[in-house]
């Protein structure tokens, strides 16, 4: 995909691999909508892109709040009449050893809320814009760390661990990717997910007490491959390990599980089923 003059939203792009992706997109001539929670870091990211001749704008939102997710979508629609690429990259890590269960502003398990539900809602809110910009692409930055969702206790009120919460939320992203790809057939909008690289040198990894052994540049290469490679044109519903097409946890390919997640997601985000049918038709 020719990136010059394309409009791209990258969530979580004020730090880590998201910031590298945003900077590379800016250098390639794209208009980058930079997103983050911290305004100062966001302004610094925008300044870096602009200093190299790129175009960037900052959108501040805390994805632990569904109200702010909707506000972010509104801000995107107000800023641009097209969206060529959406990269759902923002996330919360495992929290390291002994991580305590936390909840979002809406009372949902925090990792599920930020890593999965925010991206689900943001994508739903921006689908009309993406369809109007077709051919367009959605990239969900997931992980090789995956654990089947327990639909009897999706919010992990029993037997909580940060690792389990993280792995469940990342697999949810992949179920969503495959489900959405089916619904977007014929629209010109594709959606794929990936594990960018293992234990990249990011704040998230260091906070978990892990010594990084991959670079953010390697992860950025993998994300940009899905965002812009001509080889991915028209291909959708796939999971990649780095730049190699791979297979996710078996639950991702279970149609019943995907349907359960879809119903749960619309319920948790307060979207009526009629809206979901209209948005995904």
Kindly calculate the radius of gyration of the chain based on its CA atoms and give it in whole angstroms.
17
The Cβ-side half-sphere exposure at 12, using a 13 Å CA radius, reads 23
The residues with which 35 forms a beta bridge, in sequence order, are 59
Considering 166, 199, 239, 253, which one is annotated as catalytic? 166
Whether 166 is catalytic: yes
Q: Give the pair of three-digit tokens for residue 42.
A: 């966001």
Burial class (CB in 10 A: 0-12, 13-18, 19+), 27: middle
CB 26 within 8 A of CB 56: yes
What residues are labeled active site? Answer: 166
């Amino acid at each position: 995909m020719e990136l010059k003059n394309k409009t791209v939203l990258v969530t979580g792009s004020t730090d880590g691999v998201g910031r590298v992706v945003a900077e590379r997109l800016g250098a390639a001539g794209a208009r980058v909508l930079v997103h983050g929670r911290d305004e100062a870091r966001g302004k610094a990211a925008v300044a870096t892109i602009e200093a190299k001749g790129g175009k960037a704008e900052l959108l501040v939102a805390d994805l632990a709040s569904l109200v702010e997710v909707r506000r972010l979508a509104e801000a995107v629609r107000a800023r641009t009449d097209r969206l060529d690429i959406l990269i759902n990259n923002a996330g919360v890590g495992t929290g390291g050893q002994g991580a305590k269960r936390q909840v979002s502003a809406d009372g949902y398990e925090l990792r599920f809320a930020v890593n999965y539900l925010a991206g689900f809602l943001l994508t739903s809110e921006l689908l009309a814009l993406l369809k109007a910009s077709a051919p367009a692409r959605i990239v969900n930055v997931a992980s090789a760390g995956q654990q089947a969702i327990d639909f009897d206790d999706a919010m992990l009120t029993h037997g909580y661990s940060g690792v389990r919460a993280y792995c469940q939320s990342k697999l949810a992203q992949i179920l969503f990717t495959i489900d959405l790809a089916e619904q977007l057939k014929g629209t010109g909008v594709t959606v794929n997910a990936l594990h960018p690289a293992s234990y990249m040198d990011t704040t998230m990894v260091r906070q978990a007490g892990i010594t990084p052994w991959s670079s953010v540049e390697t992860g950025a290469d993998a994300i940009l491959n899905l965002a812009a490679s001509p080889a991915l044109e028209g291909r959708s519903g796939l999971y990649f390990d780095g730049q190699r097409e791979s297979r996710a946890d078996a639950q991702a390919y279970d149609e019943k599980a995907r349907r359960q997640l879809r119903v749960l997601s619309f319920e948790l985000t307060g979207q009526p089923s009629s809206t979901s049918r209209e948005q995904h038709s």
